[in-house]
């Protein structure tokens, strides 16, 4: 029995938008199969391009949502006091040349935070109560977090309390675990340094924290009401040397309290 050969034909179909387009058909044993490939090739190409753009846009939106969620999580874990969570470098009132100079130093510290991290560059903010140290530190942290970097705020007393809590036999953490929590963030703002006389154990824990951050090349901001010589005496020369290494800045906020 002789098998018939397939008959191939090229016909045309009409697209309302783009006119006629070729369609291949094959007839075999009285049955015709039309290979339309989804319709007008111009429409198919446009739909494919549109689908690819939609997929790319959807992926971009999802990535932005993930990034926004991650940044919100960084803010939640930052420990920034509620009073300062809405502050920024722009809300700092720099109405004198001295304040403008200090504000510029802090801006340089956090706006070039990649360079700050690579150098492990620290900053010391000194000034009497109410001069804006915590405002500037919180604003710098918010800027750093919005860049996608982790940051943590604490006071020396809160840090010491967390260390002492590990001495309880029921504690699930060791003092090393607590140190890890404060060494991990890319930026640590350590407030009220020297506000208490400080036991030998507290000073040792503070030295361990700053030293471990120094070895991990993690920038630290020190906030204190002490003068530079008083701070050096309180922390010791070794810690001060580590804080000033790599271009670490010591900035004095020498003006009256905003609270007055």
Identify the CATH number of the domain in which residue 165 sits. Answer: 3.40.50.300
Verify that 105 and 223 share a domain, yes or no. Answer: yes
Verify that 58 and 162 share a domain, yes or no. Answer: no
Structure-token pair, residue 74: 């960084």
Number of domains in the chain: 2
One digit per residue, pLDDT tens: the chain, 260 residues? 455 666 666 777 778 777 887 777 666 665 655 566 667 878 887 776 676 676 766 676 677 677 778 888 889 889 999 999 988 999 999 899 999 999 999 999 998 888 899 999 999 999 999 899 999 999 999 999 999 899 999 999 899 889 888 888 888 888 888 899 999 999 999 999 988 766 777 788 888 999 999 999 999 999 999 999 999 998 888 889 889 988 889 999 988 877 66
Verify that 199 and 213 share a domain, yes or no. Answer: yes
Q: Is residue 260 part of a domain?
A: no
Q: Is residue 259 part of a domain?
A: no
Q: Is residue 1 part of a domain?
A: no
pTM: 0.74
> Which residue range(s) make up the domain with 201?
81-253
Q: Is residue 2 part of a domain?
A: no
Verify that 68 and 15 share a domain, yes or no. Answer: yes
Verify that 99 and 45 share a domain, yes or no. Answer: no
Among the candidates 76, 97, 116, a domain finishes at 76
Among the candidates 46, 61, 76, a domain finishes at 76
Q: Are 181 and 196 in contact (CB under 8 A)?
A: no
Cβ-Cβ contacts under 8 Å for 226 (sequence gap 6 or more): 126, 193, 194, 234
Place of tokens 């309302």: 16
Verify that 155 and 39 share a domain, yes or no. Answer: no
End-to-end CA distance of the chain: 110
Verify that 149 and 133 share a domain, yes or no. Answer: yes
Verify that 210 and 113 share a domain, yes or no. Answer: yes
pLDDT digits 0-9 by tens, 157-177:
899 889 888 888 888 888 888
Verify that 68 and 97 share a domain, yes or no. Answer: no
Verify that 216 and 122 share a domain, yes or no. Answer: yes
Q: Is residue 234 part of a domain?
A: yes
Verify that 135 and 38 share a domain, yes or no. Answer: no
Q: Are 120 and 219 in contact (CB under 8 A)?
A: yes
Q: Is residue 165 part of a domain?
A: yes
Q: Is residue 4 part of a domain?
A: no
Verify that 44 and 88 share a domain, yes or no. Answer: no
Among the candidates 44, 76, 108, a domain finishes at 76
The CA distance from 126 to 182, in Å, is 22
Q: Is residue 126 part of a domain?
A: yes
């Amino acid at each position: 029995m002789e098998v018939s050969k397939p008959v191939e034909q090229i016909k045309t179909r009409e697209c309302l938008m783009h006119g006629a387009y070729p369609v291949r058909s094959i007839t075999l044993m009285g049955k015709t199969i039309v290979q339309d490939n989804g319709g007008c090739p111009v429409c198919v190409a446009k739909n494919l391009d549109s689908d690819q753009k939609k997929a790319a846009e959807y992926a971009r939106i999802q990535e932005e949502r993930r990034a926004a969620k991650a940044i919100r999580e960084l803010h939640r874990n930052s420990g920034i006091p509620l009073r300062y969570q809405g502050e920024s470098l722009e809300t700092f009132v720099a109405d004198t040349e001295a304040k403008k100079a200090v504000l510029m130093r802090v801006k340089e510290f956090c706006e070039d935070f990649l360079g700050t991290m690579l150098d492990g560059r620290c900053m010391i903010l000194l000034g009497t109560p109410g001069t804006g140290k915590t405002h500037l530190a919180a604003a710098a942290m918010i800027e750093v977090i919005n860049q996608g970097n982790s940051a943590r705020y604490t006071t020396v007393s809160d840090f010491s309390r967390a260390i002492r809590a590990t001495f309880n036999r029921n504690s699930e953490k060791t003092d090393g675990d607590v140190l890890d929590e404060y060494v991990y963030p890319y930026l640590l703002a350590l407030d009220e340094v020297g506000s208490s006389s400080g036991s030998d154990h507290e000073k040792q824990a503070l030295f361990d924290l700053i030293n471990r951050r120094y070895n991990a090349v993690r920038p630290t901001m020190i906030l204190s009401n002490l003068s530079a010589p008083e701070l050096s005496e309180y922390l010791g020369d070794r810690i001060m040397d580590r804080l000033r290494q790599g271009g670490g800045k010591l900035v004095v906020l020498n003006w009256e309290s905003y609270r007055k």
